[in-house]
Structure 1
Amino acid sequence: MIIIDGAEGEGGGQILRTALSLSLVTGQSFRIDNIRANRSKPGLMRQHLTAVEAACAIGGATVEGATIGASSLVFTPGRVKAGDYTFAVGTAGSTGLVLQAVLPALLQADGPSRLVLEGGTHAHAAPPFDFTADTLLPLLARLGPAVTARLVRPGFHPVGGGRVEVTVNPAPLRPVEFVERGALRGVRGRVLLSNLPANIAEREVAAARAVLDWPDDAWSVEDVPDGRGPGNILMLSAAFDQVTEVVSAVGRIGVRAEDIGRQTANRVAGYIASGAFAGPYLADQLLVPLALAGGGCFTTVRPTPHTLTAAGVIRRFLERDIRFDVREEGTHLVTVT
């Protein structure tokens, strides 16, 4: 059994999600202690417990100690089975992060699967649905499997209530090099607004436009009448030949709309100027598929503690060498062998 200290590295929920994924694929049991020890509210939250329950459902697994607030659990995988599954977080917890825990196993299952995920689709500190659909899934297709995702209904904090439908057609994973992103083909600034005054979106857009020299027709504000909320999110997309990066920020109480717009714009401007293929969140999510494929590489901006921690967990389950090399132009080349 693999023993994991959940306080290592960035000490958040990603350690648990990565361990769940790799346990299902490799058949190795694990125990994790000090779950989310570095967070303001440590232990299992609702979305993390849903990820554990989802892993148990698709993998015929058993778990000991999985309750809200638990700091330790033992996970014993069984056999992954394709099928139709519905998982409801029950709060505004991220549906994207629940998907992150089970998708790697379903990519190599014995047949197609369909997932219905209910909860937060555009949540703080988590990739929004648009990142999953526009950034991650097209790259997974280049590794072999075909995965599609459809947003049925957005869900925002604190109500949640969003719904996403995902289809997974597995295929053997092949190593791929994601190094050059190609030419910039288009940019887009988009605000989703649910049950909130329109001036919030207008202020976010105005602040972002003060940073980015993007054309008028690149910007849009979309009122979401069926979105559970109130809530809003600003998403800035840069589409290159080989990859589309989506940088986002969720509006929150106590954070000015102008700050949301300016900070998000600075982040996407930094990514565009970097020349890197993968932004920090994409770097996190490419590591596991490439490790399961047996190799591959990608360029990224400066690796985050999230990325470095994920690499450490991968090394516990798989015999993989993951290197982070600084290139002359300042990007980092991440190589999995």
Structure 2
Amino acid sequence: MDMLELDGRGGGGQLLRSALTLALCTGTGFTMRGIRAARPRPGLMRQHLTAVQAACAISGSEATGATLGSTDLTFVPGAVVPGDYTFALGTAGSTMLVLQTLLPAFWRAGASSRVRLEGGTHNPMAPSADFIQHAYLPALRRIGVCADVALESHGFYPAGGGAVVATIEPCPGLQVAAFGERGPLVSVEATALLSALAASIGRRELAVLGKRLGLAEDRLHLHSVRPAVGPGNAVMVRVEHAGHVELFTGYGERGLPAEKVAERLAAQVRHYLDSQACVAEHLADQLLLPMALAGGGKFTTCVASDHLLSNAALIEKFVAVEIDCEPDGPDRWRVRVAA
């Protein structure tokens, strides 16, 4: 079996998750050293360890160094076995990041699979369950992926306690897709989620978003969700163009005024709208890997982030593709994945 030597010092947990996914999909093993070395708490945290353990559980893979805090990991992939799986993070660690690690491996399996994940569903440093449902999976369907995620209960940081269930169908062949132009604007809507917190917090967030983004009252939604293990607040803006949908999320923090949360979120949305790019920053990072497995694809994005560039370099080590990123005017980049 081929084994790669990978340097994890130049990025965060995304490099490890991408390496796990690609190892399962290509049969190429790896040793990664310096995992999250530049982070305040280096090495494997709970969500990273769960991703490693889940990758082993669905495939019979072997992992050496799979312990909390470990900065070195060797992963020897096995064959993915479709089925019904449950993984509990035990913390507010992101269920969505673990799910994204497993999804491509199940696309290439010979039968459908069901995965239940328990932990955080709305975390400040990870895609939310709503982002996966309303932005990530719809984009992947254009590549030929057939998968759905159902949110059973919300799990906010830091308590967690949420649950999601994903169903994944095998994909006999992925398609090369282009996300170049987003088309005319169809709608912009904002939603504030609250668990065990005063409704006034959400109303203040929505008032700012309505003003900054020019949204009418019927485009502002306040939802109180079933109380989670702990209190929580997330505010989201869904931007739909004729050819693409994006979801932006901000999170309430202790000591941070609701107005500030909404101002930050509005600035992200305005930057995206003003850029004329099709794909926003976070989805851009996440499209590279499925496009590489499809053998090609392209998109425009408003930010060529360090995450995107480091992820591209890692993907090229596993898959015979070239990933180019070139500026295309103010706040717009063209990214191309080619075999």
Normalising by structure 1, we get a TM-score of: 0.97
Aligned to 2:157: 157
Aligned to 1:54: 54
Give how far 1:107 is off. 1.3
Aligned to 1:3: 5
SS at match of 1:265: helix
Pair 1:309 & 2:310 matched: yes
SS at match of 1:233: strand
Partner amino acid for 2:240?
A
Partner amino acid for 1:49?
L
SS at match of 1:177: strand
Aligned to 1:19: 19
Aligned to 1:36: 36
Whether the aligned pair in 2 keeps the contact of 1:18 and 1:314 (CA below 8 Å) is yes
SS at match of 2:58: helix
Give how far 1:330 is off. 4.3
Whether the aligned pair in 2 keeps the contact of 1:55 and 1:102 (CA below 8 Å) is yes
Provide Cα deviations, 1:29-83, integer angstroms capped at 9, x if missing partner.
1111111112111111101111111111112201011111111111110001111
Partner amino acid for 2:283?
L
Provide Cα deviations, 1:64-111, integer angstroms capped at 9, x if missing partner.
111111111111100011111111111011111111111111111111
Give the paired residue count. 335
Partner amino acid for 1:87?
F
SS at match of 1:122: coil
Misfit runs of 4+, over 6 Å: none
Aligned to 2:188: 187
Q: Distance in 2 between matches of 1:290 and 1:82?
A: 22
Whether the aligned pair in 2 keeps the contact of 1:194 and 1:228 (CA below 8 Å) is no
Whether the aligned pair in 2 keeps the contact of 1:160 and 1:228 (CA below 8 Å) is yes
SS at match of 1:202: helix
SS at match of 2:212: coil
Aligned pairs for 1:1-337 within 5 A: 1-8=3-10, 11-171=11-171, 172-328=173-329, 330-337=331-338
Give how far 1:169 is off. 0.9
Q: Distance in 1 between matches of 2:48 and 2:153?
A: 22
Q: Distance in 1 between matches of 2:58 and 2:254?
A: 37
Identity of aligned residues (%): 45
Unaligned runs of 5+ in 2: none
SS at match of 1:228: coil
Provide Cα deviations, 1:2-34, integer angstroms capped at 9, x if missing partner.
1111112xx210010000000000111111111
Give how far 1:210 is off. 2.8
With 60-69 and 253-262 compared, the bigger mean Cα shift is at 253-262
Q: Distance in 2 between matches of 1:173 and 1:81?
A: 20
Q: Distance in 2 between matches of 1:250 and 1:60?
A: 37
SS at match of 1:288: helix
Q: Distance in 1 between matches of 2:70 and 2:258?
A: 36
Give how far 1:302 is off. 2.0
Q: Distance in 1 between matches of 2:145 and 2:207?
A: 40
Whether the aligned pair in 2 keeps the contact of 1:144 and 1:173 (CA below 8 Å) is yes
Q: Distance in 2 between matches of 1:330 and 1:61?
A: 42
